Structure 1
Amino acid sequence: MNMPSPTNPAPLRGRQALRGDLLDFSATPAWAALDDPAVRYRPDHWLLIDADGRIAGVQAHEPDASWQRRDYRGRLILPGFIDTHVHCPQLDVIASYGTELLDWLNTYTFPAETRYADPAVARLGAERFLDALLAHGTTSAVVFPTVHKVSAEMLFEAAAVRGMRLITGKVLMDRHAPDALRDDVAGAERDCVDLIQRYHQRERLAYAVTVRFAPTSTPEQLAMAGALCRADASLYMQTHVAENRDEVAWVARLFPQARSYLDVYARESLLHPRAVLAHGIWLDEQDRRVLAASGAQVAHCPSSNLFLGSGLFDWVAAREAGYTVSAASDVGGGTSLSMQRTLADGYKMQALGGRRLTAWAALHAATLGAAQGLGLQQEIGAFEAGTLADVCVWDWACGPVAQARDAVVRGLHERVFAWLTLSDERNLVASYVAGVPRFRRDPESEPT
């Protein structure tokens, strides 16, 4: 890609107007409705972006000459995707063969994460990872670094340079891991406090108390993590829960006093409205009620769940219980940073359970729904006036197969569903972060 240097980003040149087929959501779509009032589709409209990078409005008529016009006519314009669970260092182990979760961690993931103790590795890894997100149409993310403080620092710094909304925090892991990946309670607390003071709520950054998962933290470390959350309600919390049956059984042996895997976190005040729990496959009805009452959300990772053979997530049961489900790639268990590929796998997973995921429910979980789950709907997720212009432009169809399919679609949902199923990062034309283009596929042919 030919872009301005991330360390010297191109300044905004006044007000901008992007012309194209605008699609976003004003509310949560119903589960199975193909024609839903929550869907806002405005074909051949102009998205107006003020000089401060915020959306000024949407209009059908051409703006006056005071706006720098970019004509993406005939292309789809969406809010930037929000990936609510993804691992920066695991780009190195994506597409690793042959194991389930616990073996996969020991065989592939932990060795890769060990390298991030090196500041140079952590810096290059963070830059590569964030640029890859932008090249896949993801402009905001909730990210796991490694146990090393420097890995979180490098992610925060690289995201700040790119102007991205990023939520991350040093991983907590003081047992059942290689020596090079274990911390201790006192040292981890010092690192968290320092990182919170330096990065939390600076620009578009936020800190997440990051428990790897219950088995790799002692009860003392979990208690420390809960104390951090209780001390500052603006902090996020991220972890894994109930991904794999062997993992669930292991947690039951390690925490016999807890009613369930989820209860391990509930007992330590780690379930709250800013908590993001990845997977949540093997939950029961009481767990679901607890999740809903806490305000926490589940980051659904269909690509990873299928690839590792973890299980089939019941999205309908989650909806009926009343807690937020957002979409997540979970790379490197997941096999692509592409949110379209992730959501297409989500459709297949629900179909295996006898349920049908609409394009609307899927896309909402990666845009406005994710923003609402994170408490960030005033900033990202939709084309509302005053939100930051995190915007991506897409080709409706690339290649003869997708073009032939697009030529015969009947109705909007059929067109968007075909796009969701057949597209990926090759369809991405441009990614804007707060109005600044951070990825352009063909910079020389960009409209002016």
Structure 2
Amino acid sequence: MQAYRASILHLVGDPTKDEKAVAFHDDGLLVVNEGRVVACGDYAALAADHVEVPVEDLSGHWITPGFIDTHIHFPQVDIVAAHGAQLLDWLEQHTFPAEAAFADPEHARETATFFVDELLRNGTTTALVFGSVHKGSVEALFAEAFSRDMRLIAGKALMDRNAPPGLTDTVEGARADMEGLIADWHGKGRLGYAVTPRFAISCTDAQLEMAGQVLAQHPGVWMQTHLSENPREIVETAELFPGASDYLDVYERFGLVRKRSVFAHCVHLQGEAFQRLAAKDAAVSFCPTSNLFLGSGLFPLPTACQHGVKVGIGTDVGAGTTFSILHTLGEAYKVGQLRGQALDPFHALYLATLGGARALDLDDRIGNLAPGKEADFLVLDLAATPLLARRLAAAKGLEDRLFALTVLGDDRVVARTYLAGVERYRK
């Protein structure tokens, strides 16, 4: 058992719906035992009940839940900040060549080590991850996450058309790969498997039908894909699936829209489509840095939330330009400003923590520091840069401090990252 004394900030509900959702303890105590939170609250109220527990004094720091990245591509690490083109051309010029390299197991292992280390360095303790089409890429990633007791969900990309040679699979081969990965890794430690059609353009009807069958046969797994990211993508999807009423209907027809389904982007969806997602308890990943970088558009966050859709935040590396969830939240605010809808800083933190956990159907285990939750948490250095220290010293209240942190913060703010109560990164 170990305790940590610092200022503690987390969300116990959705701050857009619950005025008591924000839990802040200026002088707080977090007590952890055997990988779980035992107690979290004011130091003065808890200290007497835990006099035998060693306490590390981290005064001047904030403790928050670990960040949750609901959309990121493991095989795209090496093409972050690749210049030029929008989505479909960017895939051809940059993504597909980079992903082809993951046929080499050694490259997959080396990249997986870097990828997981980079997540932890940026304070990401849970991620929903795309692998390449190669089974070995996902095995390498799972092995790295398992060695750190990290909660990570991943899947091999499904592509049986509209991709270069060496990056397409077959319906039969993809099913065999997924069944093997689920048997070997799903539920091992804190790992989970996600059925992962890249997007509708890359999959035949038969491939999507098979994906739906695997989901039905393994109800505990997740599903992740892309939806309504780019105007040209939407047009090409309609041409490939003339029988579908719209892009979302392509996935609905094959049983892919359900609880534990996470759709990245959804930039161009309208209210009626959001209603259908909410009715099936599916979720959306808001990826502001990649939407801006590829010129895809501005995600209508308030519209999604008004229709009851669960929303998490995604970095979408490599079209996304940072592993830092803090930096990504700053970009999410800018997207809102361009739409005339300023993002509240507490709502932003919710998207990165409890909201992300709800999007992944894991809010009974992660997302905040309530007793009984898995002890995934961060120690944040509020003086990580001279500018940040100066700005926070002049801040007017908690909301102003949090907002400045999301705009000015990045990986330098993360002093430590803990997974299940064990320190896995220290700056």
TM above 0.5: yes
Aligned counterpart in structure 2 of residue 334 of structure 1, from 320, 324, 329: 320
Q: Which runs of 4+ in 1 moved over 4 A?
A: none
TM-score (norm 2): 0.97
CA apart distance, 1:284: 2.1
Letter matched to residue 276 of structure 2: V
- Residue 54 (structure 2) pairs with residue 89 (structure 1): no
**Paired residue for 2:36?**
54
- Give the corresponding residue for 2:22: 39
1:90 shift after superposition? 0.8
Offset of residue 71 of structure 1: 1.4
Cα contact 1:405–1:418 (8 A) shared by 2: yes
> Equivalents in 2 of 1:286, 1:80: separation in Å?
33
Corresponding letter in the other structure for 1:328: G
User: What is the rounded CA distance, in whole Å, between the counterparts of 2:6 and 2:335 in structure 1?
Assistant: 32
CA distance in 2, matches of 1:132, 1:68: 30
* Aligned AA (1:41): F
Q: Distance in 2 between matches of 1:235 and 1:305?
A: 27
Cα distance in 1 for partners of 2:82, 2:57 equals 41
Paired residue for 1:128, among 96, 114, 125?
A: 114
Deviation of residue 171 (structure 1)? 1.0
Tell me if the contact between 1:81 and 1:339 (Cα under 8 Å) persists in the aligned partners: yes
Q: Secondary structure at the match of 2:111?
A: helix
Pick one of 393, 396, 418 that aligns with 2:404: 418
Cα pair 1:82 1:371 within 8 Å, conserved:
yes
Q: Is the 8 A contact 2:385 2:412 kept in 1?
A: no
How many residues of Structure 1 are paired with residues of Structure 2 in the alignment? Answer: 423
1:67 alignment partner, SS class: coil
Instruction: Say what the alpha-carbon RMSD is for the aligned residues.
Output: 1.2
For residues 115 and 385 of structure 2, the distance between their equivalents in structure 1, rounded to whole angstroms, comes to 27
Aligned identity (percent) is 45
* In structure 1, distance between residues paired with 2:54 and 2:109: 35
- Structure-1-length-normalised TM-score: 0.93
Give deviations 1:175-220, integer Å, cap 9, x for gaps: 0001110000001101111111111111101110000000001110
CA distance in 1, matches of 2:118, 2:385: 22
Give the Cα–Cα distance (whole angstroms) in 1 for the partners of residues 201 and 269 of structure 2: 17
| Greater displacement, 57-66 / 18-27 | 57-66
Equivalent-residue separation in structure 2 for 1:84 and 1:105 (angstroms): 20
**One of 55, 80, 105 as aligned partner of 1:69:** 55
Unaligned runs of 5+ in 1: 1-14, 442-448
- Alpha-carbon separation, structure 2, partners of 1:225 and 1:336: 30
Contact 1:397 1:423 in 2 (8 A): no
Deviation at 1:67, TM superposition (A): 2.1
Match in the other structure for 2:174: 188
- Unpaired stretches in structure 2, ≥5 consecutive residues: none
- Secondary structure in 2 aligned to 1:283? coil
Q: 1:224 aligns with which of 210, 214, 227?
A: 210
- 1:404-439 Cα offsets, whole Å, 9 max, x none, are 211111111011111111111011110000011100
Deviation at 1:315, TM superposition (A): 0.5
- Decide whether the 8 Å contact of 1:397 with 1:419 is kept in 2: no
1:404 equivalent in structure 2 = 390
1:213 alignment partner, one of 199, 223, 233: 199
Map of 1:350 onto structure 2: 336
| 3-state SS in 2 of match to 1:103 | helix
Asked if structure 2 preserves the Cα contact closer than 8 Å seen for 1:303 and 1:334, the reply is yes
Say which of 102, 112, 117 aligns to 2:88.
Answer: 102
Aligned-partner Cα distance in 1 for 2:52–2:136: 44
Q: 2: CA distance between counterparts of 1:269 and 1:41?
A: 41
Distance 2:410 2:125 in 1: 15
- Partner amino acid, structure 1, of 2:372: G
SS at match of 2:166: helix
Deviations 1:371-396 (A, max 9, x none): 11211112111011111110101112
Task: Give distance in 2, aligned partners of 1:419 and 1:155.
Answer: 30
Work out the CA distance in 1 between the residues paired with 2:120 and 2:395. Answer: 29
Cα distance in 2, alignment partners of residues 388 and 292 from structure 1: 27
2:30 aligns to what SS in structure 1? strand
Q: Measure the CA separation in 2 of the matches of 1:398 and 1:169.
A: 35
Q: Within 1, Cα distance between the matches of 2:337 and 2:378?
A: 28
Is the Cα contact below 8 Å between 2:384 and 2:413 reproduced in 1? Answer: yes
2:16, 2:385 → 1: CA distance?
Answer: 32
Q: Tell me, yes or no, if structure 1 residue 160 matches structure 2 residue 142.
A: no
Which residue pairs with 1:9 in the alignment?
A: none
* Cα distance in 2 for residues equivalent to 1:235 and 1:379: 16
> Contact 2:284 / 2:359 at 8 angstroms: preserved in 1?
no
Deviation at 1:66, TM superposition (A): 3.3
Q: CA deviation at 1:286?
A: 2.2
Aligned-partner Cα distance in 1 for 2:295–2:38 = 45
